[in-house]
Amino acid sequence: MASVHGAGVEGISLLPGEHVAARLTANNLKSCHSGYEGYLFLTTLRLVHRPWPAAESRGAVPFYILWSDVAGADVAPRGRGWSDGSIRRRLRITLTSGQAEFFVVWRVYKSVELLERVRREAASR
């Protein structure tokens, strides 16, 4: 099994036939008072959030979402709350279950385009 490593971050294990299409620096917003810094890997099979060591020391854990479980991605509307991250533009990944994951990323509109492109390519395989 292949592995991908980032600077100062333990890598993610790739599944057979899986390739990394992109890596974004992304803060995963889990609650109204915490964001977990890390990398968001977009692969041919799934997206994987790999927290940085500092975030892991605060309770963050790596997770992945299969592309088949992703209904879409867009830019979440801004809110008024400083503590919940909604004052910033956020990448919203909506799951087929109706739940959503939120990430603060640089260039959020380009990130949405990239994620949707990788998702379409994964669906066509």
* Structural domains present in the chain: 3-123 (2.30.29.30)
The C-alpha R_g of the chain, in whole angstroms, comes to: 14
pTM: 0.85
Helix (H) or strand (E) holding 123: helix 108-123
pLDDT at position 105, please? Answer: 94
pLDDT at position 77, please? Answer: 87
Positions of the chain with pLDDT under 70:
1-10, 31-33, 81-86
pLDDT at position 86, please? Answer: 65
pLDDT at position 8, please? Answer: 47
Q: What is the dihedral of CA 11, 51, 8, 15, to 10 degrees?
A: 10
pLDDT at position 37, please? Answer: 93
